[in-house]
Amino acid sequence: MAKDIMDIEDGTFEDEVMKSDLPVVVDFWAPWCGPCRAIGPIVEELAGIYNGQIKFTKCNVDENPITPGKFAVRAIPTLLLVKNGEVVETITGLTGKAKLEDMIKTLL
């Protein structure tokens, strides 16, 4: 897995995502979720491009059940786009690179 993407846990979510200076993308996933595995490389590619401008993170919902509940995440894959402690966009389901990149660029 690319070092451009940080693993986030229930305990570290507040500090690493909500209190982050940079805008954050949170990729909620689980190991047996096929579409999550498919969107993984797309997110990694975008992380490589926007590293330094946007913080990319991943949250395994199986190991971290509290955070998804807080944000009403009831389906995966779901990407949360967070800026200055606020969720500005929620993207649910397997989405293509072009569309994802367009939405992520709005964080800049």
Structure tokens, 103: 């939405």
Q: 11-40 mask for another protein (x: CB under 8 A)?
A: -------------------x-xxxxxxxx-
Known catalytic residue at 59:
no
Angle made by CA atoms 96, 98, 101, in degrees to the nearest 5: 105
Q: Which is nearer to another protein, 57 or 64 (CB)?
A: 64
Catalytic residue, from 5, 17, 25, 36: name it.
36
Interatomic CA distance for residues 32 and 87, integer angstroms = 26
Q: Which is nearer to another protein, 9 or 15 (CB)?
A: 9
- Binders of another protein: how many residues, by CB under 8 A? 29
Asked if 54 interacts with another protein (CB under 8 A), we say no
Instruction: Kindly tell me which residue out of 96, 102, 105, 106 binds another protein, with binding defined by CB under 8 A.
Output: 96
Active-site residues, by number, are 33, 36
